[in-house]
Amino acid sequence: MEESDQYISKYMQLVGYTKEESLLFVTLLKKGAMTILQLSRETGIERTKIYSLAEKLIRDGLFDEQLDYKKKYIRVCDVTKIELILKDKIDTLQSLAANFTNFISKINLLGGSVSPTGVKFYRGVDGIKQQLWNCLSAERVINSYSYRNFIEIVGYRFFDNWAAEFERRGLINREIRSDEYVSSEEETHAQYRNFAGDQLRYLPNKIINIQLAVDIYNDTISLYNWNKGEIFGIEIVNKQFADLQRQVYEHYWKLATPMEPMNNSRLSDG
């Protein structure tokens, strides 16, 4: 397949058409009107399947039928019509993207009504990333204990995307940092990504010895560990337990000292 063919095919797939539908589109665009049999021979797609694919693309308005004596030909519509069809699909996808957060929140509400309590285990870096992303479903506030900077385990690029989405959703992170966290900020290769809504406080080990990261939000307590070579996480969903942990957190939040984030001079785009 030529470069222009590949580009058109990939674009059609991004819009929402399958690989086979995109292949039919490109083939008719290049070869002109063809019968189902000719299309089958040209593309290698079974005739019976092409009938159903062609019917769908005709309904979408991308193809139309042309009768010539006893034969029926399929052809691509004019470019102006294709432009309108694709624009409509793009508008639909953009609308879906804009409402995705609300869609997920509704799913979580329905899921929560089925099973109010649950425990999930996560392994490895990808598991930690998934846990962090789950935190973005917080209704408003995340209460957190920070052991070390998440960037050192999930990488700057992921954390930058996470922080940008956190800001977009207008969330608040009340964060208590440990002695270990403060010490890690001074390490040579430490990276930072400050973000709006992050309210920072500090407590020394003599008051509370934080040895893993914890997030408390909604009815969820999320624990993260990447200490001494072990990388795993646990999510506990239980309203009573989350409410209890919030009460404990408030006690330590009042004892903690407000602190300013590190300046941006050591931020990275790597």
Rounded to whole angstroms, the Cα distance separating 235 from 117 reads: 10
Q: Would you state the pLDDT for residue 265?
A: 44
Q: Would you state the pLDDT for residue 14?
A: 81
Q: Which CATH architecture has domain 116-266?
A: 2-Layer Sandwich (3.30)
pLDDT tens, residue by residue, 47-57:
999 999 999 88
Rounded to whole angstroms, the Cα distance separating 166 from 144 reads: 14
What angle in degrees, to the nearest 10, is found between the helix axes of 3-15 and 79-98? 50
Q: Would you state the pLDDT for residue 268?
A: 46
CATH 1.10.10.10 residue spans of the chain: 3-98
**Closest by CA position to 246, among listed 91, 108, 138:** 138
**Closest by CA position to 172, among listed 151, 192, 199:** 199
The mean of the pLDDT values for the chain is: 86
130 Cβ contact list (under 8 Å, min separation 6):
122
CATH class of the structural domain 3-98: mainly alpha
144 burial (CB, 10 Å; 0-12 / 13-18 / 19+) is buried
**Closest by CA position to 61, among listed 111, 17, 4:** 17
pLDDT tens, residue by residue, 159-212:
999 999 999 999 999 999 999 888 887 777 778 888 999 999 999 999 999 999
Rounded to whole angstroms, the Cα distance separating 259 from 17 reads: 52
- Tracing tokens 């893993």 back to the chain, one arrives at 212
Q: What angle do CA 165, 167, 168 make, to 5 degrees?
A: 60
Rounded to whole angstroms, the Cα distance separating 79 from 134 reads: 43
Per-residue pLDDT in tens (0 to 9) along the chain, 270 residues: 578 888 888 888 887 889 999 999 999 988 888 999 999 999 999 999 999 999 988 888 888 888 876 788 898 887 777 777 778 878 887 888 877 777 776 666 665 555 567 889 999 999 999 999 999 999 999 999 999 999 999 999 999 999 999 999 999 999 999 998 888 877 777 788 889 999 999 999 999 999 999 999 999 999 999 977 789 999 999 999 999 999 999 999 999 999 988 765 444 444
- Contact between residue 218 and residue 112 where contact means Cβ atoms under 8 Å apart: no
Q: Would you state the pLDDT for residue 270?
A: 43
Q: Would you state the pLDDT for residue 183?
A: 86
Could you tell me where the DSSP H helices lie in 16-78? 19-31, 36-43, 47-60
Q: Would you state the pLDDT for residue 65?
A: 85
